[in-house]
């Protein structure tokens, strides 16, 4: 997958959700599109890491495993976010698990999305630029280390 396409996709989906808000589209549909934007963002981060690492075996295995697993995309996105907040490791794991399973339920349409839920998802998404920046600053070894761990989830 072209990594710029992933970036473009998530920004388009996010814009769609913003316009949808003004059109009075229901929270469930808006949450669905915001979560899709987060999935695309997470794919894009993975692509960034893959291009820095440059290991073809990792690339094939990551694309086969991660791109099919929505919950891993959420957990990766949230883990990066919480690491940036400098939480301790236990808190990161607990929060990432709780919220990613809530998002899975929203994505499946099991939960009626409240305004607060929607704001929460949006708040996470709006940190996308900062997250992109810190990921693009990583070096080759760091990128490979993260991917080697990710492939085992």
Partner 1 sequence: MEEHIRYIIDGYTTQRVEDIKDGLRSHLTNLDDNVKIRKVGYKVSLSFRTPATANIMQCEDIDELLSKLGVMVTRIIVSRVVTYEFEGAISSATGGGIAGGTAAKRLDVGLLIAALSGGKTVERGEGIILSCKKRDGKWIRI
Binding residues (CB under 8 A) for partner 1: these are 57-58, 60-61, 64-65, 75-76, 79-86, 88-90, 92-93, 96, 127, 130-131, 133-135, 137-138, 142, 144-153
Residue 21 neighbours by CB under 8 Å, 6+ apart: 30
Residue ranges in the chain assigned as alpha helix (H): 3-22, 27-53, 56-65, 70-84, 89-107, 115-125, 128-136, 140-150
Q: How many CB atoms lie within 10 A of CB 119?
A: 10
Q: Smaller CB distance to partner 1: residue 16 or 102?
A: 102
- Number of Cα atoms under 13 Å in the Cβ half of residue 31: 23
């Amino acid at each position: 997958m072209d990594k710029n396409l992933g970036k473009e996709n998530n920004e388009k989906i996010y814009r769609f959700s913003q316009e949808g808000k003004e059109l009075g589209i229901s929270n469930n549909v808006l949450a669905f599109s915001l979560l899709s934007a987060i999935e695309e963002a997470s794919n894009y981060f993975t692509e960034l890491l893959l291009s820095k690492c440059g290991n073809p075996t990792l690339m094939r295995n990551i694309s086969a495993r991660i791109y099919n697993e929505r919950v891993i995309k959420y957990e990766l996105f949230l883990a990066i976010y919480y690491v940036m907040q400098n939480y301790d490791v236990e808190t990161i794991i607990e929060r990432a698990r709780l919220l990613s399973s809530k998002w899975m339920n929203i994505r499946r349409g099991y939960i009626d999305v409240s305004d607060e839920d929607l704001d929460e998802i949006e708040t996470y998404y709006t940190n996308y630029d900062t997250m992109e920046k810190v990921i693009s600053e990583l070096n080759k070894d760091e990128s490979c280390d993260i991917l080697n761990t990710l492939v085992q989830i």
